[in-house]
Structure 1
Amino acid sequence: MRTRITLGLTAAVSCATLVATVALTRSDSGGSAPSHVTLPTGPYVALGDSYTAGPKIPAQNGRPAGCERSDRNYPALLAADLGLKPAEFRDLSCSGATTADLLAAQSTGDGTNPAQVSAVTAATRLVTLGIGGNDIGFSSLVTTCVKAGVFYQVEKGIRGSKADDAPCRQWYASRGTDGTDGIETKIGTAGGRVSAALGDIRRRAPRARVLVVGYPAILPAQDDGCQRAMGLAPGDVAFLRQKEQRLNDVLRDRARAAGATYVDTYTPSAGRDACADADVRWIEPLAPTAAAAPVHPNERGQLGMSRAVLDALRATG
């Protein structure tokens, strides 16, 4: 997802042993602690948008600089857990990326990122893919709902408020031409493009383990202070949460249809959303208190996501 909320090494040609027995221990905060597990050892290629890249999380590294890629994002943390050498790990994730940028070069504000799948080769043994939010315009969706929340605050002072007040949802519904808000169509289109990308990845790397990484919980099950942290009307918290869950559902279904593994990061991040307390949240609010882009994972969130991926590797190993 885009970082403008203002909300994605050379080619690894070294052939490594497909699997190895890796001893791993971890503390709590997103996953159980496995002991001896069988995991791929690379080469590993990470693809995705800013929820993968980790904008504003230090240290920012990689080229182009416009991708805002962190060396503490979940692919980097996963590569470290797997004991991969630098030549066995490539991270092509980039802030602002859509599914189109998997197959074509992406221009950023500071340099051009090559087509992300260009890093995937016959030698690749592990691929993670986290993308789709920019295809449905989730960044602009949140921005629109925040603006609607500002006007809602004025109206609330005049007529009071209700728990299901959702000016943003109503606005999108009024624009629909088929009885919907139009976002469902974008989600379906994004799902089709993810399927096409997964097919291309499979052709390039027929022996690779492929994992599609879903989005973590951005908003809570209830309002719970989101007016303060995000400026949203109560009903629009539910509206945005439902759209994110719907996107995750489509990503899960497309992953399974392509023979890939879906990684659920939503469940372990429940209660750690942008409206949660600063000492537990994975997602920063509009005004971050930790090093992260607004409405994006902080380092705690990236760690939790890496553990979810590692758990998925264990479960399907």
Structure 2
Amino acid sequence: MRRLLPALLAAMSITWAGTAAAAPAELGNAELEYVALGDSAAAGPLIPNQELMDLGCLRSTRNWPSVLAARLGATTFRDVSCSGATTEHLTTSQLTFTGPQPPQLDALTPTTDLVTLTIGGNDIGLVGVALGCINALPEPLGFSCKDRLTAGGDQIAAKIDAYAAEFGAGLDAIRARAPQAEIVVVGYGTYIRPGGCHPKEPIWARDADYLQGSVHRLNTVLGKVSADHGARFVDIEPPSVGHDVCAPISEKWFEGLLPTSVAAPLHPNARGMAGIGGFIAGSLESRL
């Protein structure tokens, strides 16, 4: 990705991130202070336009937090989501290729009204797991990542279940910094359909089901822990069905191993960010 970055940025129009959006009529003059936290699933690596101020985070001005901020009419918007972030980086600095980023919770204030958070994928190592499932050869040639990862017990499931305590502590830390805020946890999407689409995406059917099943398990844990800690969980698996990496270019929300638009592999593209942001907005507008 680092080798591709200079060429991609040369083709992009890089802009400074805006900090305010016009309030829609239905919200009138209501003030809304919104802070977005999270990893690359929120940040939008490589999607034009990338924020120049925090280039090391590979954060797009068209990511779903930006879509959500505009839709809700946020009068103050701070997006500190950062590609590569783990839960640890909520409270500690994150080293990026342009230098360290401050702890994400530093963006919160006692007057923050809304906090969104997408985190956990890097803690579990889901992208690395997916890359380990690549197999261009048809079955039975080669090896199944599911067979390898579940021999003697499901290694990924164990990591996801063990992550619950750390995630809960992260939510408590957010609440301590922003006691009046609505905390909204946004899960991960439907990246690949049942059975996959080998050889279009070089992952065997059973491995595709295992990968998406692991995403679903993580979402289930995120949802339960969110409820236990007074946060709201927004599940984007259902609305992203049919928009997976196997979908036609005009319908996909997520890029596969070989992206068909300017976006990072195995991440949302600009269409996906718009769809996800719109769905989250629809689930929050009545509450805010």
State TM-score, norm by structure 2: 0.87
How far apart in 2 are the matches of 1:253 and 1:49? 20
Instruction: State the secondary structure of the residue aligned to 1:278.
Output: coil
> Residue 130 of structure 1 contacts residue 213 of structure 1 at CA under 8 Å; is this kept in 2?
yes
Residue in structure 1 matching 2:42, options 39, 48, 52: 52
| Aligned match of 2:263 | 292
Runs of 5+ consecutive residues of structure 1 not aligned to the other structure:
15-20, 24-35, 158-165
The 1:153–1:277 alpha-carbon spacing in structure 2 relative to 1, beyond 3 Å, is: same
How far apart in 2 are the matches of 1:40 and 1:102? 28
Tell which structure's C-alpha radius of gyration is larger. 1
Residue in structure 2 matching 1:173, options 150, 157, 160: 150
1:119 aligns with 2:93: no
More off after superposition, 57-66 vs 206-215: 57-66
Instruction: State the secondary structure of the residue aligned to 1:228.
Output: coil
| Aligned match of 2:138 | 153
Q: Percent identity?
A: 40
How far apart in 2 are the matches of 1:38 and 1:255? 30
| Aligned match of 2:238 | 267
Structure scoring higher RCO (CA < 8 A, sep ≥ 6) equals: 1
Tell me the C-alpha RMSD between the 2 structures: 2.6
State the Cα distance separating 1:140 from its structure 2 match.
Answer: 1.0
Deviation track 1:81-122 (CA, whole Å, cap 9, x = no partner) reads: 22234xx11111000111111110000112211101111110
1:97 aligns with 2:85: yes
Deviation track 1:249-290 (CA, whole Å, cap 9, x = no partner) reads: 001111111111101111100010011111101001111111
State the Cα distance separating 1:42 from its structure 2 match.
Answer: 2.1
Residue in structure 2 matching 1:194, options 127, 142, 167: 167
> Residue 3 of structure 1 contacts residue 95 of structure 1 at CA under 8 Å; is this kept in 2?
no
| Aligned match of 1:73 | 63
The 1:168–1:315 alpha-carbon spacing in structure 2 relative to 1, beyond 3 Å, is: farther
Deviation track 1:28-74 (CA, whole Å, cap 9, x = no partner) reads: xxxxxxxx479974211100000100011000005331100000001
The 1:315–1:3 alpha-carbon spacing in structure 2 relative to 1, beyond 3 Å, is: farther
Q: How many correspondences in the alignment?
A: 273
Residue in structure 2 matching 1:130, options 118, 124, 132: 118
State TM-score, norm by structure 1: 0.80
